[in-house]
Structure 1
């Protein structure tokens, strides 16, 4: 799936993203916790979408830049972030318009699982990071799809498509499933070391009515949805 596919439902996706359990109360808080103290750090938001993570990190003192493959998403991000965050339309599968060693950190929320080949994107993200810089990312949890569809198996790298509704508007997204060892192999080949891997619970501030019943009741603390990594550029 090309990133500009999001142009068809960019506004609806942004509206859904701003308040949904998975985005606003699960994925984004987890990314912010993993980033930690970002004051004064130069951070690239790779696949920034409509800019909510960039806004949060900027408000915590980071010097943000961002890109996305969807012009419609970038337009929404520009309205959200104003002129102090440089934004551009760019394709993560192609060479990026940034200098070598330009950033202290790269954040990439729910982006890599759209791509079949991780080698060129990871190489580019490594190139733009300073030595010792961090790549903080989230992807679909590799156990989620096999749990829901056991006939599909776990160990292959394969494409699948899901139907969604974003603030009442339907949308179709295409992803690539890959097992955990394929992810870790790709990170190592690109020159990254895994310093942290997380399967977090939703934010403690999540409105109770948004939580699955077994988590709202306290019977469980988390669910399988996304997997989070902090990588260090060697």
Structure 2
């Protein structure tokens, strides 16, 4: 189901409030996450020891925990209250500060030039307009900071008729589908699909310099635990992972 109603409704909150606990339980080891997107994103982030990290759209705190255990001081936020609660449990005792926050709104509680690295994993698909988000990331980034984000691959989503509906590749549209892999009832998740140019141009026009663009391949371990998706993802990517510098 696809449409072009780009309303201000938080698609992330609407979706993840429904299955936050199931997501937090499954995502740490789910093949698409643990053996595909997450390793690619972490490789782009690189060494975080001694650095200040912003984990934007942190979900249940999976990345926040990884960064904190690697020596970083982490500030994380998510729009879903239950996700923030779950992240607090996961990151208990670690140098992680958590808050509720909306990527689609100004990050007013964060100071200018306060983070060495900003990470936003699989959260931007729920935001209609990326430019304000990238501008806010630029504002809170310290000189020389890096931004790493991952999101659905625009071409992959458009090739799925459930996603593109009657619209062209060049349109930005909203679509939804039922997700498998997180138990029953299957959660209905809506997100936005936009052309690649809309992603990268919004990034550059917000003051970021594109540094690396990755269309990840699955780790070899995925061939054992999920051979069907390993074959599929070895033929065509499902996500993009991007690193930019200021």
Tell me if both proteins adopt one fold, taking TM over 0.5 as the criterion.
Answer: yes
- 2:24 is aligned to 14
Seen in structure 2, the aligned counterparts of structure 1 residues 200 and 189 have a Cα distance that, compared at 3 Å, is same
Q: 2:171 aligns with which of 147, 150, 156?
A: 156
- Structure 1, unmatched stretches of 5+, are none
CA displacement at 1:16 relative to structure 2: 2.3
Q: Which secondary structure does the structure 1 equivalent of 2:92 belong to? A: helix
Contact kept? 2:80, 2:100, Cα under 8 Å = yes
Matched, 1:211 2:227: yes
Query: Which aligned runs of 4 or more in structure 1 are off by greater than 6 angstroms?
Result: none
Figure out how many residues of one structure are paired with residues of the other and give that number: 230
Q: 1:53 aligns with which of 44, 63, 66?
A: 63
Contact kept? 1:21, 1:211, Cα under 8 Å = no
Q: Which secondary structure does the structure 1 equivalent of 2:50 belong to? A: coil
- 2:100 is aligned to 89
Seen in structure 2, the aligned counterparts of structure 1 residues 57 and 153 have a Cα distance that, compared at 3 Å, is same
CA distance in 1, matches of 2:88, 2:216: 30
CA distance in 2, matches of 1:116, 1:161: 14
CA distance in 1, matches of 2:105, 2:230: 43
- 1:120 is aligned to 132
CA distance in 1, matches of 2:160, 2:104: 29
Q: Which secondary structure does the structure 1 equivalent of 2:74 belong to? A: strand
CA distance in 1, matches of 2:111, 2:158: 39
CA displacement at 1:152 relative to structure 2: 4.0
Q: Which secondary structure does the structure 2 equivalent of 1:11 belong to? A: helix
Matched, 1:98 2:107: no
CA distance in 2, matches of 1:102, 1:207: 41
- 2:6 is aligned to none
Matched, 1:140 2:155: no
Q: Which secondary structure does the structure 2 equivalent of 1:212 belong to? A: helix
Matched, 1:232 2:245: yes
TM-score normalised by length of structure 2: 0.87
TM-score normalised by length of structure 1: 0.91
CA distance in 2, matches of 1:100, 1:71: 25
- Structure 2, unmatched stretches of 5+, are 1-8
